[in-house]
Amino acid sequence: MNLLLLVGTKGKAKGAYHQIVEKVDNISFNKSGLFPEKILEFNETWTKNMSPEDRTYFKNLTKGHYPKAVVITCSDSRIPLDLVTGTEPGTLFVHRNVCNQVSLTDKSSVSVLQYSVNSLNVEDIIIVGHSHCGGIDAVLSGDELEEPIGEWLKEIKKLYIANRKMIDSLPTHREQNLALVELNIQRVVNIVNQLDIVKNARALGKPIKVYGWVYHLGSAELHNLNIPSSN
Ligand SMILES: [Zn+2]
């Protein structure tokens, strides 16, 4: 059963994905019935029945990885990144947080970029926001948010306030959400372009490019915002 290999194959990705979902949902409950137990049962059954080719495939992954890009995206559970990009394990170095942010005060996201640029020699950095983003909705609501999420979203809140007239004039909530999603992607791309990690790598001649993409949940389409790479 070449499930993961199929996930990495564009033409068959959807079928493979649904196969996996059905398999997890169809596993009978032998233990406590908790969802994490169900996942472990699925994994146990799946790895036991794995083909020799897939065993070799996974074994080869232990030799190292040479990802082609680093992706910073939202933690939202509806973004199946490998599936919608047709990429296999080892291709994307991924960091996820609420609203796909990079901040100088956030050691986690900056460390991901430092390691991927300096040690993994990744040259393409892709910031992926998405439509219907719950974090963006929280900002649009205007509600006072509890800590620490309030602090985490404060720069997006400032962005909303600065662009409120334009955003609030949009006819639907969905469009307002998408407008702030796109502004936030632009903001994060600009931050990444100004990081010492990126500037120093460029000074050494590495052609670091920073992209801003939007993932549309309802169609699985990725759109490039065509943000200039080194502004
Ligand atoms: Zn989100």
| 33-77 pLDDT per residue, tens | 788 888 898 899 999 999 999 999 999 999 999 999 999 999 999
Percent of the residues in the chain that have a pLDDT greater than 70, as a whole number: 85
Query: To the nearest whole number, what is the mean pLDDT of the chain?
Result: 89
Residue 94 has pLDDT above 80, yes or no: yes
Residue 127 has pLDDT above 60, yes or no: yes
Calculate how far, in angstroms, residue 8's C-alpha sits from the geometric centre of ligand 1. Answer: 24
Percent of the residues in the chain that have a pLDDT greater than 90, as a whole number: 79
Distances (CA, A) of 71 to 89, 108, 118, 165, 201: 13, 14, 15, 31, 18
HEC string for 180-225: HHHHHHHHHHHHHHHCHHHHHHHHCCCCCEEEEEEEECCCCEEEEC
Least confidently predicted of 41-50, 86-95, 134-143: 41-50
Closest C-alpha among 130, 152, 7, 153 to residue 72: 130
Residue 20 — pLDDT band, cuts 50, 70, 90?
low
Residue 1 — pLDDT band, cuts 50, 70, 90?
very low
Q: What is the pLDDT of residue 187?
A: 98
Which residue is catalytic, options 18, 55, 78, 174?
Answer: 78
Q: Which amino acid is at 103?
A: S
Which residue is catalytic, options 76, 95, 99, 187?
Answer: 76
Q: Which domains does the chain have, with CATH numbers?
A: 1-62 (no CATH), 65-224 (3.40.1050.10)
Distances (CA, A) of 207 to 57, 171, 198, 199, 229: 31, 40, 10, 10, 10
Calculate how far, in angstroms, residue 205's C-alpha sits from the geometric centre of ligand 1. Answer: 34
The predicted-structure confidence for 163-198, as pLDDT tens digits, reads as follows 999 999 999 999 999 999 999 999 999 999 999 999
Annotated binding site for Zn(2+): 74, 76, 130, 133
Residue 16 — pLDDT band, cuts 50, 70, 90?
low
Average pLDDT over residues 204-224: 97
Calculate how far, in angstroms, residue 200's C-alpha sits from the geometric centre of ligand 1. Answer: 30
